[in-house]
Amino acid sequence: MTGRFSQRPHYKSEELDRECESIITQFLRDRYGKIEFPVSTDDLTLLIERDTEDFDPYADLLIYGDDVEGVTEFQLGKKPNVKIAEALSVDERRENRLRTTLTHEYGHVHFHAYLWEIEPPGADLLRRSPNANKQICKRDGILDASQSDWMEWQAGYACGAFLMPASFIRRIVGDYQEANGLFGTIGINGRHGQALIKTVQTAFQVSADAARIRLLKLGVLGAADAGPSLFNR
């Protein structure tokens, strides 16, 4: 995947956090005059529809493999097309997966579409490899792809940053730490780590996996607790 471009865009985590939070909060402010989380699934759909040429939430993606849940197709001179696996849109039990897939694909739309304007695939390449202008996203890479697959890693990070913006997460974490006399890193397997994951799940309407990965990437969760607050000794 990474061989398609002579250069890759390098985004620091902090840059992705700032940009994603700016986009989602401005969208909510423009639409409602206020910012509240969780963002509704309908609003996530409207956001992706705004910035795509065509959006199909009921697509048959089996041609790409039975583990593919989203595809972003890039087009020279046009906005991208996005397809989401039908199974995610029709099954209410999969709404959290739908939400993460929507925001993952929007990550590709926002952060990667310009690459095809700079280095569009030639006609010969598209004849040899018809999917050269598509980002085909598998279930296991939606939230936490390897950093070696930089496009998927960036879109996965953006997925968490759109649904759970950094400043809002840190506010929740700060309140929890203060209420429980904690400071620093919270052990992922301890009582407080598990409670915080559940708190984030509820606040942002995400799965436990999405909440856990986001808290890990922000450095909130770690292997063990840093310890009790010095002020409580």
Q: Is the pLDDT of residue 84 over 60?
A: yes
pLDDT tens-digit map of 43-56: 999 999 999 999 99
Final residue before a domain boundary, out of 146, 163, 180: 163
Q: Is the pLDDT of residue 125 over 70?
A: no
Would you say residue 199 lies in a domain? yes
- Report the percentage of the chain scoring pLDDT > 90: 77
Q: Is the pLDDT of residue 121 over 80?
A: no
Would you say residue 1 lies in a domain? no
pLDDT score recorded for residue 129 = 77
Nearest alpha carbon to residue 108 among 189, 29, 20:
20
pLDDT score recorded for residue 131 = 80
Would you say residue 30 lies in a domain? yes
pLDDT score recorded for residue 232 = 41
pLDDT score recorded for residue 231 = 40
Query: 118: which 2 tokens?
Result: 């700079």
Q: Is the pLDDT of residue 122 over 70?
A: no
> What average pLDDT does this structure show over 17-42?
98
Domain count, the chain: 2
pLDDT score recorded for residue 154 = 95
Residues 80 and 179 in one domain: no
Distance in Å from the first CA to the final CA of the chain: 53
> How high is the mean pLDDT of the chain?
91
Q: Is the pLDDT of residue 230 over 50?
A: no
Q: Is the pLDDT of residue 153 over 50?
A: yes
> What average pLDDT does this structure show over 201-216?
97
Distance of CA 144 to the CA centre of its chain: 9
pLDDT band of residue 128 (cuts 50, 70, 90) is confident
DSSP structure class, residue 60: -
Residues 198 and 99 in one domain: no
Rounded to whole angstroms, how far apart are CA atoms 181 and 175? 10
Which domain range does residue 47 map to?
Answer: 7-163
Residues 158 and 187 in one domain: no
pLDDT score recorded for residue 170 = 96
Would you say residue 62 lies in a domain? yes
Q: Is the pLDDT of residue 12 over 70?
A: yes
Residues 6+ apart with CB under 8 A from 5: 115, 118, 119
Residues 100 and 212 in one domain: no
